[in-house]
Amino acid sequence: MHDLTQCVHHPSVPHDGFASLSVATYRASTIVFDSAESYAERHQRGLTGYSYGLYGTPTSRTLEAQITRLHGGAGTALLPSGQAAITGIMLSILRPGDRVLIPSSVYPPVLAFCQNYLAELGIEHSVYDPLCGSGIEPLLDAKTKLVWVESPGSTSLEVQDLPAIAAAAHQAGALVGCDNTWASPLICKPLALGADFVVEALTKYAGGHSDLLLGSVTAADDASDTNLKAWLRTMGIGVSPDDCSLALRGIETMGVRLAHVGRIALDIARKLSHSPAVQRILHPALPHHPGHTVFMRDFKASSGLFSVELKPQVSPFLHQSLKRLRCFAIGASWGGTHSLLAPITLAARNGAATSSSQSYLRISIGLEDPDDLWDDLNTIFHQLERELQEPSVNTTIA
């Protein structure tokens, strides 16, 4: 063959005797067939076979199988982000006239999705108190198709009684989906607690290095898994094998990373609880936290994310104090090796742990030396405490 043809057709080399501990990254749009007949019959390969790159490669299938196994589910679908996983599962099962219930502590872009997109499709949503437990029953009418749970909830970290909510929802004929991103499958297994679907933002602890975006939906039964996968094929939604490979690598170290950041985060949360600048520490492992009893029952350990509610008097000085950070970075997303701080303001929420429009500092613990992290926080909180003792004159607004 001529050079140009040889450039396109790779030489084959033996694979015999080669074995690696890592999963190969298979990149493909085209899948080739060994005959015209098998190409003509490619649709018979179904959802589990290989027929087109968009529908999966051995790399993405390995990640799907890994998450399915960790959650004890029937199957897993991968989507380009955690948010896409949530909107994907909702769009694939909700129809005009249906209603979805979401907790007030939900990841804020999910509420925006319900308000700005589901509503105009004729799909209603109602916001419920994350701590209601079986008290969700009066909200469940014949239209309610899905009850969404996120536990612990974003920023305020209320822990939901998933078994009680799932029992009431199933009684009323509704499905239950749970966003398990805070915990990962190593700390909580929502399918065993009654959920029909569990979503992970793999972007966080599975990725573990703040450099990829990926989401998963694991279904408890085959029919639900097949339904979502068929929907994804039709919508043309697939994921990159490179991202899957990074997530598979991340999952290998997720256990030791989580054990470490969980321990350090709880230690720092306890220490910060003594600061006079702190109104409240929002960490589910602390005894007074909303849902703590449920947390002790349903979760194996703590992860590395918690929030600090600041005293209203010090809130105006938070941004200024963060200029003194040396170790923590300021940013959203979390679960990586770098520790992050995110100043967050939450409006008053019905039934949630928050009391009023309040300033929070969300803290994600990473893998730096805990002494350096504590030095940073100590600097900030001492500065905030000084504002309590001798408030700056020009900012004391009547």
CA 134 to chain centre: 24
Q: Report the distance separating Cα 6 and Cα 1, nearest Å.
A: 6
Residue 215 CB, nearest approach to ligand PLP (Å):
5
Residue 108 CB, nearest approach to ligand PLP (Å):
10
Q: Which of 60, 76, 203, 339 binds ligand PLP (CB under 6 A)?
A: 203
Check residue 154 for interaction with ligand PLP (CB under 6 A).
yes
Neighbouring-strand partners of residue 215: 79, 201
The first and second tokens of residue 247, run together, are 């997530």
Cβ proximity to ligand PLP, 51 vs 81, nearer residue: 81
Tell me the number of residues near ligand PLP by CB under 6 A.
Answer: 14
Q: Which of 104, 144, 181, 245 binds ligand PLP (CB under 6 A)?
A: 181
Check residue 208 for interaction with ligand PLP (CB under 6 A).
no
Cβ proximity to ligand PLP, 68 vs 156, nearer residue: 156
Check residue 210 for interaction with ligand PLP (CB under 6 A).
no
Query: Taking CB under 6 A as the criterion, which residues in 60-89 touch ligand PLP?
Result: 81-83
Residue 377 CB, nearest approach to ligand PLP (Å):
21
Residue 387 CB, nearest approach to ligand PLP (Å):
30
Cβ proximity to ligand PLP, 191 vs 217, nearer residue: 217
Distances (CA, A) of 114 to 13, 126, 127, 130: 52, 9, 10, 17
Beta strands in 80-236, from DSSP E residues, in sequence order: 99-103, 124-128, 144-150, 175-179, 197-201, 215-219
The first and second tokens of residue 286, run together, are 């602390």
Residue 200 CB, nearest approach to ligand PLP (Å):
9
Check residue 179 for interaction with ligand PLP (CB under 6 A).
yes
Task: Return the closest-CA partner of residue 286 out of 257, 300, 306, 314.
Answer: 306
Q: Report the distance separating Cα 246 and Cα 40, nearest Å.
A: 34
**Quick check: 177 and 195 in contact, CB under 8 A?**
yes
- Please choose, out of 63-71, 200-208, 232-240, 285-293, the segment that lies near ligand PLP by the rule CB under 6 A: 200-208
Distances (CA, A) of 179 to 201, 235, 297: 8, 22, 18
Which residue ranges make up the site for ligand PLP (CB under 6 A)? 81-83, 107, 150, 154, 179, 181, 201, 203-204, 213, 215, 333
